[in-house]
Amino acid sequence: GQQLNQSPQSMFIQEGEDVSMNCTSSSIFNTWLWYKQDPGEGPVLLIALYKAGELTSNGRLTAQFGITRKDSFLNISASIPSDVGIYFCAGHGRSGGGADGLTFGKGTHLIIQP
Amino acid sequence: ETGVTQTPRHLVMGMTNKKSLKCEQHLGHNAMYWYKQSAKKPLELMFVYNFKEQTENNSVPSRFSPECPNSSHLFLHLHTLQPEDSALYLCASSQDRRRGEQYFGPGTRLTVT
């Protein structure tokens, strides 16, 4: 089935550094979303993007909906320990029809080194 | 209770058992979803319900049987599962199936022995 290519798979960073991750697809989506999942919990919605080229911020998080509608990126500025977790991109409303559910990437595991 | 709740949080069952997972959303949403999250794999959509009607079955084996009695509650009935069905089962809801913003519950960690 359709999958999103999310990279990097994992990131080892120092506290205070900026983080960037991205997601690409072979299909066009109408909505791109970014989630964060902590161990033992469900994914939590961080940002939703609805228009090609849209740039949206949520605190230290910034995400963009690619112009081609086939990609998105997420930036985290000045990382802090509580940013540790797995970040997932997801697409919704695939062009040409398809699932009502979300199509997910495999996740980016963010690890902050002391 | 707020958001999306799931019970039980953990479940261990044998291959011949029958059990059910429960999900309840307190957000006034009209669409509900079941996802499966296995190690090393992306979250996989299983079922979609919109206004209590099933709108999608993503080729899920019949040993998984969903039920949606109203827009706030969703069940997943399990019977004769296999060890490879062990995973985190996540429930989500959205305003309706056209909206991409889905809100997830904490999941049920299922182990099939």
Per residue in A14-39, pLDDT (tens digit) is: 999 999 999 999 999 999 999 999 99
pLDDT mean over B7-16: 95
pLDDT at B40 over 90: no
Q: What local confidence, expressed as pLDDT, does residue B78 receive?
A: 97
- CB of A72 within 8 A of CB of A66? yes
Testing the interface with A: which of B10, B104, B108 to mutate, by most A Cβ within 10 A? B104
Going by C-alpha positions, the residue among B112, B63, B58 that lies closest to residue B88 is: B112
Per residue in A2-16, pLDDT (tens digit) is: 679 999 999 999 999
Per-residue tokens: A53: 């080229």
Per-residue pLDDT band for B2 (boundaries 50, 70, 90) equals confident
Q: What local confidence, expressed as pLDDT, does residue A94 receive?
A: 73
Give me the residue from A31, A40, A41 closest to B100, CB to CB: A31
